[in-house]
Amino acid sequence: MDARILHILKQTAQHFNDNHAQAYLVGGSLRNLLLGEPTIDWDIVTGGDAPTLARQLANKLGGFYAHLHEKASRVVVKQQAGETVLDISPLNGKTIEDDLRRRDFTINAMAAPLDEIVRYLEQACHAERSEESRGTATSCLSIIDPTGGTVDSAARRLRAVDNDIFKHDPLRMLRAVRLMMRYGLSIEPETQRLIAFHAPLLKKVAPERLHDELYAILNPDGATDRLRFLDELGLFTVIFPEFIPARGMRQPFPHYWDVLEHSIEAVGALERLAGMLQGEIADGELHEICTLLREAGEQGIFSFDALLLPRVKMAALLHDIGKTVTYATDQEGHIHFYHHPQAGVPLAQEIMRRLRASTQDRRFVQQVVAHHMRPGQLGQDGPVTLRATRRYFADLGLVGIYVALISLADHLAAMGPQPLGEAWERHLGVVHVLLTRYIRERETILPPRLISAEELMRRLQLEPGPQVGRLLDLIAEAQAEGCISSKEEAIWLAEDAMAIDEDAQIGDEDVH
Residues 85 and 212 in one domain: no
Residue 372 DSSP one-character state = T
Domain's final residue, options 232, 266, 289: 232
Residues 112 and 244 in one domain: no
Is residue 183 domain-resident?
yes
Domain's final residue, options 445, 473, 488: 445
Residues 79 and 178 in one domain: no
Is residue 178 domain-resident?
yes
Question: How many domains is the chain partitioned into structurally?
Answer: 4
Q: Which strand (E) or helix (H) includes residue 43?
A: strand 41-46
Q: According to the model, what pLDDT value does residue 130 have? A: 45
Is residue 394 domain-resident?
yes
The answer to whether the predicted template modeling score (pTM) of the entire model surpasses 0.75 is yes
Q: Which strand (E) or helix (H) includes residue 79?
A: strand 72-79
How many CA atoms are closer than 13 Å to the CA of 324, on its beta-carbon side?
Answer: 21
User: Is the separation of the CB atoms in 158 and 191 below 8 Å?
Assistant: yes
Q: How much of the chain is helix, strand and coil, in % rounded to 5?
A: 65, 10, 30
Q: Give 392: exposed, middle or buried? Use CB within 10 Å, 0-12, 13-18, 19+.
A: buried
User: Is the separation of the CB atoms in 180 and 208 below 8 Å?
Assistant: no
Residues 12 and 139 in one domain: yes
User: Is the separation of the CB atoms in 147 and 106 below 8 Å?
Assistant: yes
Residues 298 and 321 in one domain: yes
Report the SS3 class of residue 401.
helix
Q: According to the model, what pLDDT value does residue 128 have? A: 47
Residues 396 and 463 in one domain: no
Q: According to the model, what pLDDT value does residue 3 have? A: 82
Is residue 160 domain-resident?
no
Is residue 161 domain-resident?
no
Angle, helix 340-354 to helix 359-371, in steps of 10 degrees: 160
Query: Which residues does 103 contact at the CB level (< 8 Å), separation at least 6?
Result: 27, 109, 161, 165
Residues 135 and 185 in one domain: no
Residues 257 and 384 in one domain: yes
Residues 368 and 278 in one domain: yes
Is residue 76 domain-resident?
yes
- CA nearest neighbour of 393 among 412, 375, 411, 381: 375
Integer Cα distance of 479 and 482 in angstroms: 5
Residues 295 and 361 in one domain: yes
Q: According to the model, what pLDDT value does residue 490 have? A: 86
Q: According to the model, what pLDDT value does residue 180 have? A: 94
Domain of 477? 453-511
Is residue 387 domain-resident?
yes
Residues 28 and 130 in one domain: yes
Residues 20 and 93 in one domain: yes
Q: What is the DSSP string of 209-260?
A: HHHHHHHHHHSSS-HHHHHHHHHHTT-HHHH-GGGGGGTT----TT--S-HH
Domain's final residue, options 155, 186, 205: 155
User: Is the separation of the CB atoms in 479 and 450 below 8 Å?
Assistant: yes
Q: According to the model, what pLDDT value does residue 280 have? A: 63
**Per-residue pLDDT in tens (0 to 9) along the chain, 512 residues:** 678 889 999 999 999 999 999 999 999 999 998 898 888 889 999 998 999 999 999 999 999 999 887 778 999 998 877 889 999 999 999 999 999 999 999 999 999 999 999 998 888 776 644 454 444 445 567 899 999 999 999 999 999 999 999 999 999 999 999 999 999 999 999 999 999 999 999 999 999 999 999 999 999 999 999 999 999 999 999 999 999 999 999 999 999 999 999 999 999 999 999 999 987 666 788 999 999 999 999 999 999 999 999 999 999 999 999 999 999 999 999 999 999 999 999 999 999 999 999 999 999 999 999 999 999 999 887 899 988 999 899 889 999 999 999 999 999 999 999 999 999 999 999 999 999 999 999 888 887 888 888 989 999 999 998 888 889 888 888 887 778 878 888 898 998 888 887 766 666 655 55
Q: According to the model, what pLDDT value does residue 473 have? A: 84
Integer Cα distance of 507 and 512 in angstroms: 9
Is residue 471 domain-resident?
yes
Q: According to the model, what pLDDT value does residue 134 have? A: 47
